[in-house]
A and B are shown apart, each in its own frame.
Chain A
């Protein structure tokens, strides 16, 4: 356990030492999105009948930022360690693949949650947001962070160069998070894109998280929880198998 705790401590300290870049900056970005979109759309768009657009937008933005940062944490930490070579100091000690996995994913969940909660806090003075079912919101924040942290771990192990990682981030993670119903309800989409959206696991994370605030959602939260948990288990299994075999880390 000491090995796991130390690696978790290291991973958390790593992003916390540069918190301006890893926590404050994404919170500011989300705030800018909010200001621009609420100014242009608030009077024209209403997704849920009793919820103003700005209020609808905030949980989605918070969750999207949390997910992107959970991914960024594990992936950038791993690629930096690989490229500078200091990952050797993690490969020499008797850390098991489970300890390695758990530490990277938990640190990612933590950074994601800090960013997500940060976005909610800075928007508090601007909007009237109620948390109807906080347990649901919290569960999706943690599970969503864990899924993206796991994806970040996979990407960090797989990528040999920064531009491979950037490709993973820009061509997979960004579209998945942007097209997940953060800015709209998927029921406003044409039938085909509605179906496509149902294949996006990030949609269920956003939708479930939003349920915690408004008590309504595009699909029942139980279904979202099942999809997100199933996805997490599948990715965790894959990542553990990669780590156990030494894929790209032990040659």
Chain B
């Protein structure tokens, strides 16, 4: 499954990458001839007194798995709607694979597949009818084989001839994903695709999306499940009140803002003064230390040994995106 447009770039990207968890250093160095998957420049959108988007600018490289995070009302959906041409910005420009979403909307929309956040469906038609028509809107006829493949991958085959009205919420969500993919868009945007979706579907969906990403599709994702973003996205942008407050590789964001934590349970005394200053003690006699890097584990153990203390239990915690998120959202 290769995306229809920008496939050359996408293929290159996919060959560099063996899994979405890895960081792709080469993604950041873009070939000059190659337009970015997304280029957002100085985008502003105002609703009355509310500045929903306040000068947003960033690029997403072809083949990236990109996370767009932020609390409710931060502007994520407005930004996605602006990419899709559903919202017309008051200022700034947006390009999809080099095509301006306003001036060159036909090419831009052909390159983009969007799964909207709200669960919507057309009650007049069956799943297959919906997908055949959606293909037609993109100018594609005889799309049967690809529709079959999407139905198979989203486990919708048994529902192909069912009316969309008769489907469960999870199934309707899958149909929306299928609708976004009928034209093999090189850039796929998913606006909270797993909100209110059961674990099984979430799992299947991510497997499919990861595969599309490996095949070279650029993925932009918004989600409230930060562990999803952490495990899937190689780079993350965080929005807060319409402004961009972070734009970094996931790993950098984690190492810069969040710390490893070391939980200790001691026997034979309490924590020495040199360590007590940076530790939080809990009522159960456990201590929790923040570490700036993993080498510090050795220093801590050494200090404990020197004080004649024994470690009864120890647990090393990894930095979590949730901490970063909370920290950045709390900052004034």
Contacts and interface: CB of A to CB of B under 8 A. Distances in A.
Contacts of A21: none
B110 interface: yes
B120 interface: yes
B139 A94 contact: yes
B123 interface: yes
A18 B125 CA distance: 12
A188 interface: no
Nearest to B164: A86
Interface string B90-109: 00000000000000011101
A251 B116 CA distance: 15
How many interface residues does chain B have, given as a range?
20 to 34
A5 B114 CA distance: 23
B123 A2 contact: no
B246 interface: no
Given A14-B124, A86-B122, A250-B85, A92 B109 contact: yes
A250 B120 contact: no
Contact of B120 (A14, A85, A93, A96): A85
Contact of A5 (B107, B120, B136): B136
A251 B86 contact: yes
Contacts of A86: 120-122
A223 interface: no
Among A7, A14, A91, the most chain B Cβ lie within 10 Å of the Cβ of A91
A132 B235 CA distance: 74
How many interface residues does chain A have, given as a range?
20 to 34
A95 to B, nearest CB: 6
Interface string B182-208: 010000000000000000000000000
A93 B140 contact: no
Contacts of B86: 88, 91-92, 250-251
A88 B124 contact: no
B137 A95 contact: yes
B4 interface: no
A13 interface: yes
A195 interface: no
Nearest to B130: A89
Nearest to A16: B124
A76 to B, nearest CB: 12
Given A2-B136, A13-B125, A93-B137, 14 more contacts: A7-B136, A9-B136, A81-B122, A89-B122, A89-B134, A91-B85, A92-B84, A92-B86, A92-B180, A93-B138, A94-B106, A94-B107, A250-B88, A251-B87
Interface of B: 81, 84-88, 105-107, 109-110, 112, 114, 116, 118, 120-125, 129, 133-141, 179-180, 183
8 contacts: A2-B136, A3-B138, A6-B135, A13-B124, A18-B124, A92-B85, A92-B180, A250-B86
